[in-house]
């Protein structure tokens, strides 16, 4: 009986180790930096991107297209000026910076698309794409100065669902504004402190 328990315990541990190895080789995640301490210049430029994104999110929560356009113009400028060259010391395999450039390019192009939309619904659709790019960028560069939450509204866009970023877990839904202000849940976060 004791031998049977021992064999089961060994098999269980082996199975757990096997699953850990499979989880460690998951290729769905974007490449990430292995060092989380960035230069003050990079942190300041990334914080600028986040703050302008948050201003855009808040404008959409308020259903204010004028404020959304103003925040978007500033977000484009911040994304285009993100100091990615400050990551050279940690990008030893030349993967992080090109990947980050893809995401900043996506933020800029989707933001330009948002500016071209006249109605709030079109702006919110473009915002969804900006949010995805910014969250992936945050994970790629491993921005660790503050915690960034990924929030999710399952009812956005005819129940297709949509995500947005926040520095807190408080739900203020940019996809419905005052119609459904608190619809949403915390889906994920990036914190490296």
- The full set of domains in the chain, from first to last, is 38-190 (1.20.120)
Note the pLDDT tens digit of each residue in 81-117.
Answer: 999 999 888 888 889 999 999 999 999 999 999 999 9
* Alpha-carbon gap, residue 46 to 49, rounded angstroms: 5
The reported pLDDT for the residue numbered 27 is 44
Residues in the chain: 193
Beta bridge partners of 138: none
Q: What is the CA angle 182-110-77, rounded to 5?
A: 100
Confidence of residue 9 (pLDDT cuts 50, 70, 90): very low
Q: Which residue has the tokens 């990334």?
A: 46
Q: What are the φ and ψ backbone dihedral angles of 50, each rounded to 5 degrees?
A: -60, -45
Distant-in-sequence, close-in-space partners of 13: CB < 8 Å, separation ≥ 6:
none
Nearest to 69 by CA among 131, 129, 112: 112
């Amino acid at each position: 009986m004791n031998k049977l328990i021992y064999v089961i315990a060994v098999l269980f541990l082996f199975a757990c180790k096997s699953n850990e190895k499979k989880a460690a080789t998951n290729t769905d995640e974007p490449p990430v930096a292995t060092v989380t301490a960035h230069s003050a210049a990079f942190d300041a430029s990334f914080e600028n991107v986040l703050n302008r994104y948050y201003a855009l999110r808040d404008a959409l929560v308020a259903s204010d297209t004028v404020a959304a356009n103003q925040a978007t113009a500033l977000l484009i400028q911040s994304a285009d000026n993100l100091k990615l060259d400050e990551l050279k010391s940690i990008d030893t395999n030349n993967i992080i910076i090109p990947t980050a450039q893809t995401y900043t390019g996506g933020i800029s192009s989707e933001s330009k698309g948002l500016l071209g939309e006249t109605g709030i619904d079109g702006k919110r659709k473009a915002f969804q794409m900006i949010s995805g790019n910014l969250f992936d960028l945050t994970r790629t560069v491993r921005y660790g100065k503050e915690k960034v939450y990924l929030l999710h509204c399952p009812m956005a866009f005819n129940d297709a669902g949509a995500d947005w970023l926040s520095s807190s877990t408080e739900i203020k839904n940019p996809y419905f504004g005052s119609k459904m202000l608190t619809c949403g849940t915390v889906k994920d976060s990036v914190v490296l402190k």
